[in-house]
Amino acid sequence: MLWEGVQITDLLADAGIKDEATTVIFHCVDGYTTSLPLATIKDQEIILAYAANGVTLPASMGFPFIVVAEDKLGYKWARWVSEIELSSDETYKGYWEKRGYDNDAAVN
C-alpha cells in the first residue's frame, strides 16, 4: 500500500507543541479514541494519510484521515480522525486500551 499524507510531526509543528506534551490522542468521528507517544510519532515518522495508492480514502478505509502506524497493531490505526489532541497523560487509554488491550500495541 502506498500511503499519501502528512507527517503528524509537521502538523503539530504548525499548530505548536507545548513542552509538556508527551502523548498524541486521536479522536475519530465515531467517538473512537487511541493514543501514541509523541516520541514514537517522531521516531517512526508516522503519517496521517488521506489517500492510498493514488486514491482518496473511501469511507471504509477511514476518510478523511487514517493514522498509518506500521509498527503497531490495527487498533492504533485510528480511522475517521477528526481531531488530534496533545496531552501530558502518558497513561491515556483509548477505546480498546480501556478494555484491556496493551497501550503499546507493538507488532512482534
CATH number reported for the structural domain that contains residue 42 in this entry? 3.90.420.10
Q: pTM surpassing 0.85? A: yes
Q: Is the pLDDT of residue 89 over 90?
A: yes
- C-alpha cell of 35? 493514543
Tell me the backbone φ, ψ of residue 61, rounded to 5 degrees.
Answer: -100, 0
Q: Which of 85, 98, 108, 96 is nearest to 24 (CA)?
A: 85
Does 78 fall in a domain? yes
Q: Has residue 8 got a pLDDT over 90?
A: yes
Range of the domain at 64: 3-95
Model pLDDT, residue 37? 97
Tens of pLDDT, residue by residue over 12-53, are: 999 888 778 999 999 999 999 999 999 999 999 999 999 999
Q: Report d(CA 79, CA 27) in Å as an integer.
A: 9
